[in-house]
Amino acid sequence: MEPRIASMGHVGIFVDDVDRSLKFYQELLGLTLTDADEENGMYFFSSRPDEEHHEFLVCRGRTAPRDVRLIQQISFRCPSLEDVIAFWERLKAAGVEFDRVVSHGNAVGVYFYDPDHNRCEVYWLTGLHARQTFLAQIDLSRPVDELMIEIKEYVVEYGETGYVDPALLRN
């Protein structure tokens, strides 16, 4: 029998300022601190502490400068588009730096930077099929029903081929 992966277990990152990162991931993203090894500077987080001890690990000891990208992105799945919008509003109010807010056709994603300038994403799966790469800018201040109409129209037009909004190429 061929071995297989059941699911992603967890991701761990090194950070420059543990207290700043703990505050960011607990207060802004709402992750639950499930365990900590203070002596070794390891802090365990879960979005589902009753099901999974940890999905995310913050460790002291980052030595790379902020302008060195060590991680492509850290993504957190949300149960609804309304949750993504609420995170977008919360992060915006906290002055968090955004990378982009897009539809992937099959998902809606808000990309932003944590205190160590690691790119993170909160996203929601739309249930639609779209070939990747698919990046269309969207405005989350608009009503959800309008957003979904726009996303569906883009998927009908570009779902088979993929799409990259030309405005994103200038970023």
Give average pLDDT by consecutive 10-residue segment, the chain, 171 residues.
Answer: 73 94 96 93 94 92 85 92 95 96 95 94 94 93 96 93 83 53
Residues 78 and 162 grouped into a single domain? yes
Q: What is the pLDDT of residue 170?
A: 65
Q: What is the pLDDT of residue 106?
A: 94
Residues 49 and 125 grouped into a single domain? no
Helices (H) and strands (E) in the chain, counts: 4, 10
Residues 56 and 94 grouped into a single domain? no
Check if the beta carbon of residue 28 is closer than 8 Å to that of residue 90.
yes
**In CATH, what number is assigned to the domain containing residue 51?**
3.10.180.10
Q: What is the pLDDT of residue 71?
A: 87
**In CATH, what number is assigned to the domain containing residue 94?**
3.30.720.110
**Rounded-to-integer distance, Cα 88 and Cα 94, Å:** 10
Q: Return the axis-axis angle of helices 81-93 and 144-158, rounded to nearest 10°.
A: 110
Number of domains in the chain: 2
Q: What is the pLDDT of residue 167?
A: 82
Residues 133 and 78 grouped into a single domain? yes
Residues 149 and 119 grouped into a single domain? yes
Residues 119 and 38 grouped into a single domain? no
Residues 41 and 102 grouped into a single domain? no
Please report whether residue 152 resides in a domain.
Answer: yes
Domain housing 39: 6-63
